[in-house]
Chain A
Amino acid sequence: MKHLLSAADLSHDDALQILATAEQMHDVQRREVKKLPVLRGRTIVNLFFEDSTRTRSSFEIAGKWLSADVINVSAKGSSVSKGESLRDTAMTVAAMGVDGLVIRHHASGAPLQVTQWVDAMVVNAGDGTHEHPTQALLDAYTMQQRLGDLAGKRVAIVGDLTHSRVVRSNLILLRTLGADVTLVAPPTLMPSGIADWSAAEGFSYGYDFDEVLPDLDAVMMLRVQKERMSGGYFPTPREYTVGYGLTRDRLRALPDHAVICHPGPMNRGLEITADAADEARSLILDQVSAGVAVRMSVLYHLLGGAES
């Protein structure tokens, strides 16, 4: 594994090892000296074409705690309008002598494209509506902390699946870890070609949240942006909440042992009731704190050894 572009880059062993290392990194996070020497002398650039303070700072701290030199480069705005191509931007940054590039881009596939132009290791920190593999790793990490081995566990991912980069990574990783995944959304918010995709990969999908709810070990609620309404994806927020929100009634129907995830930021009251986020069953705060540990683990695995 030279890069982490997609959750599909992770074999079952890779995924387990990264999660196990993340646990050690989590311990480091709790000590007074939060510093490991593993990436001493290495330079990591956070190349963000789109704002994301949370993801960027999480990668930044992760890199710094591993003793790497971390530089943030904001390349916000369309490169097309600036007249500089993605290739130009990537090669300019790489020319500074960078070992790792952490790339966030508003367009799907951009981190993968960059790998053909630069030698540096590339981590996808979220690309368009495609993937966000480190988010999936930290979701899996927090779920595993509560539920143990995820093999055979039933997980539903609910919400705006079309426009989410999290859903693909989570679907792929959870299935790599042996979980049983169901996607739930109104038909207008399902990824295109879902029938063929689910048949080819052997996961299920449906339009009825209540049907799957009582059998779940985990439910992952995805953010629904209010502006989707203008695209006609659903009529009103009220109607969406009734159909697909994690409401109080649904919290009651959810098994007691089941956990609740939300990769954030939340729309309390739309896809998730105000109470749900604060429930004991909620992993939402754990998810934030696990972010650094998981990213430390990823950076260590990609940059800690000799180049393969």
Chain B
Amino acid sequence: MQRPDFSDAGSLDPGSAQAAPPPGRTVLSAGDISRALRRIAHEIVEHNKGADDLVVLGIPTRGEALATRLVGLLAEIEGAQVPVGSLDVTMYRDDLRSQPTRAVGATFIPESGIDDKVVVLVDDVLFSGRTVRAALDALGDLGRPRAVRLAVLVDRGHRELPIRADHVGKNLPTARSERVRVRLDENDGVDEVRIVGGES
């Protein structure tokens, strides 16, 4: 069995995070990330006309941290405690059969449930769209939300399915051969997004 690599951005294993100097170039700094999330939080509130009926679900691993931060920001902005949880999509992936068995992550649905709620799915990078498709299938088995919205920190393009994000921290044109590495304080001890590899 293999440890999972959930990010479809193809991030490197966190064990090499301490290696200096880090490879590639920084495209989002800690400040950029923080501003992007704040903007997303505002967009969510604006679109939803407040924080009522919102449920924020992060897709492991880094989507969970982002979801928690978003909920914190929503509390600041609206003074409302929005329920937050996590949605593991491992068992809904369409590439299970092509790789050794992946470890399953935790799914946690808040007490309030998701029926008739507006679920905001949160992930770090939107790439092929396959993770989001899996997440939508997983949601379908858990209940029936009134609406599902998608928030991502980075949209790097190269979609393989008809999926788009409602809230994007940064649109990042990339070459397919490049890898987008999102590192977050909660998981990696630092906040930054780098582009690694490709022709550079």
Contact = CB atoms under 8 A, between A and B. Distances in A.
Contacts of B1: 1, 13-14, 17, 301, 305
Interface in A290-308: 300-302, 304-306, 308
B137 interface: yes
A306 B141 contact: no
Interface string B84-122: 000010011000111111111111000000000000000
Interface stretch (A27-35, A170-178, A232-240): A27-35
User: Which interface residue of B103, B137, B143 has the most chain A CB atoms within 10 A?
Assistant: B103
A300 B137 contact: no
B142 interface: yes
Contacts of A17: 1, 103
A301 B90 CA distance: 12
A33 B104 contact: no
A21 interface: yes
Contact of B141 (A20, A21, A31): A31
Contact of A301 (B92, B101, B142): B101
Given A13-B1, A301-B1, A38 B103 contact: no
B104 A300 contact: yes
A238 to B, nearest CB: 49
Interface residues of A, number: 22
Contacts of B103: 17, 20-21
B142 A31 contact: yes
B107 A300 contact: no
A27 B105 CA distance: 12
Contacts of B91: 36-38, 300, 304
A89 interface: no
Given A13-B1, A33-B142, A38-B91, A304 B137 contact: no
A212 B109 CA distance: 43
A36 B106 contact: no
Contact of A305 (B88, B99, B137, B141): B99
A304 B141 contact: no
29 contacts: A1-B1, A13-B1, A14-B1, A17-B103, A20-B103, A21-B103, A24-B104, A24-B105, A24-B106, A24-B107, A27-B107, A32-B143, A33-B140, A33-B141, A33-B142, A35-B141, A38-B91, A38-B96, A300-B91, A300-B104, A301-B1, A301-B101, A304-B91, A304-B96, A304-B101, A304-B102, A305-B96, A305-B99, A305-B101
Interface of A: 1, 13-14, 17, 20-21, 24, 27, 31-33, 35-38, 300-302, 304-306, 308
Given A1-B1, A33-B142, 19 more contacts: A13-B1, A21-B103, A21-B104, A24-B105, A27-B107, A31-B142, A35-B141, A36-B91, A36-B141, A38-B91, A300-B91, A300-B104, A302-B101, A304-B102, A305-B1, A305-B96, A305-B97, A305-B99, A306-B99
